[in-house]
Structure 1
Amino acid sequence: METTTRTVAGSIGGFVGKKFTSGNSTSDVSSRIVARGPLWSSYMDDPIVRQLLPQFAVTLQKRVLGLREAVVTGDAPEACKIAHMIRGAAGSYGYPSVADVAGRVEIRASSGRDLAASLSDVDELATLAAAIRVAIGSL
């Protein structure tokens, strides 16, 4: 599977490793993500949401990889669609920081201008997704 590093101190880290290309596999990309601490849902106290979070984390990781592919290939409509799905789901599961970053990508993709500038936001989403997996893995 993937390797994550847990530390007690520090903020959420950045995407570590080479830039994504369409030839990279899911494991190639996800193994380069290092989370510097867990990111908890604001709805952790809700037993129903808590039960659904592991599947959300898996789906989020897949969507971030799809979003990266869309951004790298310049597919603005697909990037807009995926960013919108991430934004909505993240808000529903109690991750406003993820929703905010996905919203930036969605706005840029829907405007059709400088989609490549969204790569840093996609990197941030990958890091946040890794931090969510760290939190869920410690339950």
Structure 2
Amino acid sequence: MKSLKQSFLKKYPKYEIILRMFEESNGCPATWGNLSKVRLQNFVDYMLERMAQSSARQYAAKFKAVLNLYSEEAELPGGYMKVLTIKDEKPVPVWLNDDELEKLSAYIPLNDNERTVQAQFLMGRIPERGTPIIADLRKQI
């Protein structure tokens, strides 16, 4: 049988970070033999402390998918499905006040991701004092 790392990376080659988080959270290598309910809970808690709940949910789902795929070949801890099931969170709307919008408008983005997030917040704003924020953004894009 393939190792847990080989099995996981075969299915999700771009998500080695998930295995690293399992190892960091438990202080042991990610192997079939090191899977336990407690270690899986440590892994979930570790992710929830470091990233958004929605991201942790996606990562846990990927890990769970690999365990499900190999459930007939590997000895898995009872209740692993429940431990790796993170409830979905409801989206939270975010509003910025005028001062925060001015700071965001003055900020010079370092990369495309920051530029996109900046544009998303500023495009929704209707300028109250005739501030040409949208026109400035169109020049940047």
- Scaled by the length of structure 1, the TM-score of the pair is 0.31
Q: Which entry has the higher C-alpha Rg, 1 or 2?
A: 2
- Scaled by the length of structure 2, the TM-score of the pair is 0.30
